[in-house]
């Protein structure tokens, strides 16, 4: 009788999976042709990007990865919920895959949607080691479409990752091609007055910063599915088709603003999870995010798919057309945005600053301010900041500081997607109060190119310890002037947009300068996990933490088994 109870409890505790599917991937040196330059890189099965992997929700997959490189490698299954030993992060979940060896990943597929995979070793991902994952749902999807395409975006740079990081550490503005000029000074002087412009320049100089410090790395070629703008990736359609576009931002460093002139886009999924449909003209996709949109194309003509970098320094371009070879007009890059004092509000009191005018501002208290020292910053002005208050001030996007130079706007004056627009289609978790809050201050030293969390780099930091079964509220306070896409491995991130149980479920949370953003996590995955900024050179420079989840479901099963066996013993 005891064996019966034990077997029943284990059967109830463990999921039942469908037939196993097997895949083979090789990690190879490849040549990458962007249409503007050719360079050696790293790919999968002889190409970059690697093959699109298509899984089925409910199956168990086996993936044999053979390392044909002369260095260690790894593959991380970005956004997938799986056992931590299969997560693919060297030094945390496994040692890595040595040259010439094959490592076999095995895990159940417990979700559906659009995801991606990439190396988590050195700068292999920016070198080309990435690919897309599509997971088909077990049941019917809540929206209709006639055909689909993966649109995998990346920023391919002619310099290697190691060289880029060396150059950034030597001079943080090494790749900044949009620095303000003397001509800009005189133009602004004619608009704002000479003294106001001079004071403004001196103030930024005192902070050892530039208004144009929006993108760390410029000079890249934007790719769509491995093709540069001149190579023109094309997806074909029949007039009247509803086309599902699965956007994935696999860039090392670049946020893209995406639009298709002449077409509305209905966003139906964010980071692999269905959302209540929202129709937009343009959206910003952070590094490592995914968005699925549906476009209804009625006309038999070509449309340009245009992904413009947030700093307006480059773009990726493709085409949707009834047949290959057709093209549409390619938009010009818009004027580059500039940071404002609102984007630096982490250095000062939000409430007292009037960003509408620089004239008359007293800068005496800012003289000698050293941007490199962020650790003594006073965050009192950020406490209790909520997005509703920001909306009431007329801020067009509550996830950007009021008066920020980075607030996005659609090129045609229409609707630009905000995080505040995202609402889950079906709640994944029951709503409950968090057990505790953990504050993560996003900190850095742009001048020395050091990035950190709570002022501590990864190699000097203690792991964050969580208890299995708790619900943790993370508070991100961005004290830097850069935007950081924060990625938690292994568990979902519930983004707080003020919608309670309808808050969207994501795997990347983008945190703009001088803002506070909250997310909650159901701690339901035992083991050791990575938690980091997904900008490749921020991650490498220290904005990274290890998460250790203590306890787990096995303890619950053991206690139930002991109780059942005790009951059996009492009956006999």
Residue 189 pLDDT:
54
**pTM listed for this prediction:** 0.84
Q: Kindly report, residue by residue over 479-501, the tens digit of the pLDDT.
A: 998 999 999 999 999 999 999 99
Question: Same fold for the domain at 143-176+212-337 and the one at 338-405+418-572?
Answer: yes
Contact present, 324 and 236 (Cβ < 8 Å): yes
Phi, psi of 399, rounded to the nearest 5 degrees = -95, 10
Quick one: pLDDT band at residue 65, thresholds 50, 70, 90? very high
Report how far residue 287's alpha carbon sits from residue 250's, in angstroms, rounded to the nearest whole number.
Answer: 6
Q: Length of the chain in residues, anyone? A: 572
E strand or H helix at 207, and its extent?
none
N-term to C-term CA, the chain: 9
pLDDT tens digit sequence for 362-412: 333 333 333 333 333 333 333 333 433 333 345 789 999 999 999 999 999
Residue 281 zone, left/alpha/beta (φ > 0; ψ -120 to 50; rest): alpha
Query: CA of 433: how far to CAs of 138, 383, 471, 503, 507, in Å?
Result: 31, 19, 8, 14, 21
CB burial of 183-199 (b: ≥16 within 10 Å; e: otherwise) equals: ebeeebeeeeeeebbeb
Distances (CA, A) of 228 to 45, 177, 371, 528: 21, 20, 37, 38
Q: Where are the domains of the chain?
A: 2-140, 143-176+212-337, 338-405+418-572
Maximum average pLDDT range among 19-33, 347-361, 365-379: 19-33
Average pLDDT, the chain: 85
| Multiple choice CATH, 143-176+212-337, 3.90.1150.10, 2.60.40.420, 3.40.50.720, 3.30.1330.10 | 2.60.40.420
- The residues near 374 (Cβ < 8 Å, ≥ 6 apart) are 346, 443, 444, 445, 455, 479, 480
- ∠ CA 218-184-512, nearest 5°, is 45
Predicted pLDDT at 14: 38
Averaged pLDDT, 96-109: 98
Instruction: Flag whether pLDDT at 19 surpasses 90.
Output: no
Per-residue pLDDT averaged across 44-48, rounded? 98
User: 2-140 maps to which CATH number?
Assistant: 2.60.40.420
> CA torsion, points 422, 272, 215, 156, in degrees to nearest 10?
-150
Helix (H) or strand (E) holding 151: strand 147-156
SS3 category, 201: helix
Does the domain formed by 338-405+418-572 have CATH 3.30.1490.100? Answer: no
Lowest-confidence range among 297-301, 305-309, 360-364, 459-463?
360-364
- Angle in degrees, CA 381, 385, 391, rounded to 5: 125
**Geometric angle at alpha carbon 259, from 442 and 496, rounded to 5°:** 35
CA 427 – CA 160 distance, rounded (Å)? 42
């Amino acid at each position: 009788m005891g064996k019966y109870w034990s077997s029943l409890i284990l059967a109830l505790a463990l999921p039942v999976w469908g037939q196993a599917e097997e895949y083979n991937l090789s990690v190879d040196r490849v040549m990458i042709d962007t249409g503007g330059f050719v360079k050696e890189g790293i790919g999968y099965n002889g190409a970059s990007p690697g093959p699109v992997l298509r899984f089925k929700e409910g199956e168990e997959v086996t993936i044999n990865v053979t390392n044909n490189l002369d260095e260690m490698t790894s593959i991380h299954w970005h956004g997938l919920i799986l056992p931590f030993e299969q997560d693919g992060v060297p030094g945390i979940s496994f040692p890595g895959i040595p040259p010439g060896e094959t490592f076999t990943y095995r895990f159940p597929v417990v979700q559906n949607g659009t995801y991606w995979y990439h190396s988590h070793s050195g700068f292999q991902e920016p070198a080309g080691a990435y690919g897309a994952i599509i997971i088909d749902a077990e049941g019917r999807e809540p929206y209709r479409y006639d055909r689909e395409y993966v649109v995998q975006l990346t920023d391919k740079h002619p310099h290697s990752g190691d060289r880029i990081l060396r150059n950034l550490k030597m001079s943080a503005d090494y790749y900044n091609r949009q620095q303000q000029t003397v001509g800009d000074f005189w133009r602004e002087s004619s608009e704002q007055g000479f003294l106001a412009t001079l004071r403004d320049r001196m103030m930024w100089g005192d902070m050892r910063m530039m208004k144009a410090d929006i993108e760390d790395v410029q000079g890249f070629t934007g790719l769509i599915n491995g093709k540069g703008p001149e190579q023109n990736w094309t997806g074909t359609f029949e007039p009247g088709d509803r086309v599902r576009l699965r956007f994935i931002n696999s860039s090392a460093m670049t946020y893209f603003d995406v639009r298709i002139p002449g077409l509305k886009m209905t966003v139906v999924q964010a980071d692999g999870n269905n959302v209540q449909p929202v129709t937009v003209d343009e959206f910003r996709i952070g590094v490592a995010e995914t968005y699925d949109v549906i476009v209804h194309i009625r006309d038999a003509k070509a449309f340009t798919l245009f992904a413009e970098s947030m700093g307006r320094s480059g773009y990726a371009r493709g085409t949707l057309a009834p047949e290959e070879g057709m093209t549409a007009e390619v938009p010009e890059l818009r004027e580059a945005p500039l940071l404002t004092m609102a984007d630096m509000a982490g250095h000062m009191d939000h409430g007292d600053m009037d960003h509408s005018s620089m004239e008359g501002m007293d800068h005496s208290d800012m003289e000698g301010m050293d941007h490199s020292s962020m650790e003594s910053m006073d965050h009192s002005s950020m406490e209790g900041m909520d997005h509703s208050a920001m909306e009431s001030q007329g801020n067009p996007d509550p996830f950007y500081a009021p008066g920020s130079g980075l607030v996005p706007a659609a090129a045609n004056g229409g609707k630009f997607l905000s995080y505040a627009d995202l609402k889950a289609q079906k709640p994944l978790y029951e709503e409950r109060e968090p057990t505790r809050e953990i504050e993560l201050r996003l900190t850095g030293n742009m001048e020395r190119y050091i990035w950190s969390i709570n002022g501590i780099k990864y190699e000097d930091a203690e792991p964050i310890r969580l208890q299995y079964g708790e619900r943790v509220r993370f508070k991100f306070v961005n004290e830097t002037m850069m935007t950081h896409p924060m990625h938690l491995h292994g568990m979902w991130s519930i983004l707080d947009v003020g919608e309670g149980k309808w808050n969207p479920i994501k795997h990347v949370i983008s945190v703009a300068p001088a803002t506070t953003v909250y997310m909650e996590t159901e701690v339901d995955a035992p083991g050791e996990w990575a938690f980091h900024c997904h900008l490749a050179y921020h991650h490498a420079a220290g904005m990274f933490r290890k998460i250790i989840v203590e306890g787990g479901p096995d303890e619950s099963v053991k206690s139930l088994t002991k109780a059942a066996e005790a009951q059996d013993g009492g009956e006999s």
